[in-house]
Amino acid sequence: MRLSQYFLPTLKENPSEAQIVSHRLMLRAGMIRQSSAGIYSWLPMGLRVLRKIEQIVREEQDRAGCQEVLMPTIQPAELWQRSGRYDDYGKEMLRIKDRHDRDMLYGPTNEEQITDIVKMECQSYKDMPKMLYHIQWKFRDEVRPRFGIMRGREFLMKDSYSFDMDYESSKRAYNKMFVAYLRTFDRLGIKAIPMRADTGPIGGDLSHEFLVLAETGESGVFVHKDVLEFDIPGEDIDYNGDLQPIVDKWTSLYAATDEKHEESAEAELGDKLLAARGIEVGHIFHFGTKYSKPMGATVTDKDGNEIDLQMGSYGIGVSRLIGAIIEASHDDGGIIWPESVAPFSVGLINLKSGDADCDKTCAKLYSDLNAAGVETLLDDTNERAGAKFNNMDLIGLPWQVVIGPRGLKNGVAEVKNRKSGEKEEIAIDQLVAKFSA
């Protein structure tokens, strides 16, 4: 993309309405704009990051054997009356009456809806087990939306649901999601630590939250330092094999949020204790028959008995993850994107737009890099050099390649790594090979 044509309205000043760094930087980097309180429009660069995160989440769900569906945003109230949650949910649920005065709602989550689908389509043990997910916009009418997309009202969530005939099988589904989450967050370039969690309004008897460490996190966290060094399961992990040892290992050492922590246990850890702050990016629950029983989601086993299905649900805050990644990865200059979610890999800066040699070299590099599959943003604007550097730091692409008249004489470009800040001169004819390797 050429910056001169790209809809990327960056801001030099910090917007006064933003209290936390991710909100400030997303506004300044032209990623989002507020539509109304807690509701945002995604501009082209923000949407690129959102789609990359969504795709990594999807790939890891698919790898774990979860199948993608898409449920609508608007649900009938009747579904929630059957589960008993319609009255419990309170004002966070956006309640709607349609033109025929029927009670509807904008889904804050989908346990009822997916349970109804499985109830209608699965009658026999032959249809089990099932793991289904969708990535859909949700709405929670927060009383005081804040922190940009970190605590918005309309947000994108991946929610998975598992259906099994007994606890052991359901536990295997839970373990699959546990492992898929470790892999997902690792691929997103963040360190997310599973912690035992309260099961809250969704209910259930087994639950873990995944939290990203960040100074600005909403929760205090207390973690055995060795957890930070645990290995992430590889791409070749066999999801049909026994995953219990992986889950056991990751839950063997102390890790708790401030809601669940125990000072006595922490005292024993000594200098192995890390007290930090964290941001919740995922949450997994096993809750047995909490929804299947009231909603009548049963299957018939081999002996003709009706069995209430064992269920779990598994959420990842897809839009919220962008905020969490920025909170965990930025500096005074702006965002520092992990490579896997960066909107572009390379920011190509033409230091002297209008200079024939600079223009020609940049045009060729831009074309060659994109042809080699290296997503490149070319700054071909007439801004002065300092403004271009600052802007490129702000939007946080992993690599900056600077083409100027002085370097061109020697056939070299200056290449800067956004994260380390290291700069080196590289021969222009070596650049495509460097980035497409």
Residues 358, 348 contacting (CB under 8 angstroms):
no
- Minimum separation from the CB atom of position 154 to a second copy (A): 5
- The strand pairing partners of 279, in sequence order, are 212
In this complex, which beta carbon is closest to a second copy, that of residue 70 or of residue 437? Answer: 70
In this complex, which beta carbon is closest to a second copy, that of residue 105 or of residue 403? Answer: 105
Residues 92, 139 contacting (CB under 8 angstroms):
no
Dihedrals phi, psi of 125, to nearest 5 degrees = -55, -25
Residue with tokens 């690129």: 48
In this complex, which beta carbon is closest to a second copy, that of residue 143 or of residue 267? Answer: 143
Q: Which two tokens stand for residue 210?
A: 């995944």
List residues binding a second copy (CB under 8 A).
5-7, 9, 33, 35-36, 39-44, 47, 50, 65, 67-76, 91-92, 94, 96, 98-99, 102, 104, 106, 113, 117, 120-122, 130, 132, 137, 139, 141, 143, 153-154
- Minimum separation from the CB atom of position 33 to a second copy (A): 6
d(CA 6, CA 390): 17
Residue with tokens 């956006």: 94
d(CA 208, CA 199): 8
- Minimum separation from the CB atom of position 116 to a second copy (A): 8
- Minimum separation from the CB atom of position 305 to a second copy (A): 22
- Minimum separation from the CB atom of position 229 to a second copy (A): 35
In this complex, which beta carbon is closest to a second copy, that of residue 93 or of residue 195? Answer: 93
In this complex, which beta carbon is closest to a second copy, that of residue 192 or of residue 378? Answer: 378
3-state DSSP assignment of residue 437: coil
d(CA 95, CA 117): 22
- Minimum separation from the CB atom of position 282 to a second copy (A): 22
Residues 216, 88 contacting (CB under 8 angstroms):
no
HEC per residue, 319-377 = HHHHHHHHHHCEECCEECCCHHHCCCCEEEEECCCCCHHHHHHHHHHHHHHHHCCCCEE
In this complex, which beta carbon is closest to a second copy, that of residue 270 or of residue 354? Answer: 354
In this complex, which beta carbon is closest to a second copy, that of residue 27 or of residue 413? Answer: 27
Residue 205 CB neighbour total at 10 angstroms: 11
Closest by Cα among 333, 339, 352 to 408: 352
- Minimum separation from the CB atom of position 371 to a second copy (A): 15
Task: List C-alpha distances in Å: 97 to 102, 107, 153.
Answer: 5, 14, 19
Residue with tokens 């890999």: 345
3-state DSSP assignment of residue 307: strand
d(CA 342, CA 143): 32
d(CA 418, CA 395): 10
d(CA 338, CA 348): 18
- Minimum separation from the CB atom of position 254 to a second copy (A): 38
- Minimum separation from the CB atom of position 115 to a second copy (A): 12
In this complex, which beta carbon is closest to a second copy, that of residue 382 or of residue 436? Answer: 382
d(CA 198, CA 424): 50
Q: Any residues with CB less than 8 A from the CB of 384 and at least 6 apart, and which? A: none
Q: Which two tokens stand for residue 219?
A: 């929760």
- Minimum separation from the CB atom of position 43 to a second copy (A): 6
Q: Any residues with CB less than 8 A from the CB of 115 and at least 6 apart, and which? A: 83, 161, 291, 292, 295, 297, 311
In this complex, which beta carbon is closest to a second copy, that of residue 42 or of residue 174? Answer: 42
- Minimum separation from the CB atom of position 121 to a second copy (A): 4
In this complex, which beta carbon is closest to a second copy, that of residue 39 or of residue 432? Answer: 39
In this complex, which beta carbon is closest to a second copy, that of residue 54 or of residue 186? Answer: 54
